[in-house]
Amino acid sequence: MLSMIGMNEKTPEEMFKEQITTEDLSKFEWRILKYMCGVAGIYDTFPKTLLFHRTDLKAYIDPKFSQEYLHDEGGPIYKFTMDNVMSSLMDRDVVEIVTEYEYGNLKMALYGRKKKLKDMCDVLKNYEMEDFTLLDKLFPKNV
C-alpha cells in the first residue's frame, strides 16, 4: 500500500508544471517588477522571500493546490515557483544576483535591478494591469 502512495506523489516540479500557467508566471514577474520599481530608492537588493511576500504571490499560488499539499509540502512549491520566476526575470535581463550568502544550511541570493529595469521603471508605473504581452514587448527574453 505504501508503494502505491509513493507512486502517486508528485514532485514540486511536476505539481508546478501542472498547476502554474505561463500567464501565471507572467503575472508573478509583472508584480515583482512593479514592486522593485515602487520601492526604488528604499531598497537596492531583494531576497526571494521578501519579493514573494510583498507581492502576495502566495494568494495567487494557494488556490491552485490542495490545502493538504500546501500544508505539508508548500515550501517546495513556493521555492520552485520563485526560482522559475527569478530565472525568467534574469533571462529578460532586468534583474541580477547581486550577492549570495548562506543562512543556516540554505543558500540565499539577493537580487537587484539591472539598468534596463531602472530605465523602464517610470514606464512600468503607468500600467496597472498584469499584461504578459506587454511584459514580453518591454522586456523580451534573451534566450
pTM: 0.82
Q: How far apart are CA 19 and CA 112, in angstroms?
A: 28
How far is the CA of 54 from the CAs of 13, 31, 34, 102, in angstroms? 24, 9, 11, 22
Over residues 55-82, the pLDDT tens digits come to 988 888 888 776 655 555 557 778 888 9
**Nearest to residue 35, comparing CAs of 60, 58, 52?**
52
Q: Look at domain 11-136 and name its CATH class.
A: mainly alpha
Over residues 113-137, the pLDDT tens digits come to 999 999 999 988 888 776 778 888 8
Domains of the chain by residue range: 11-136
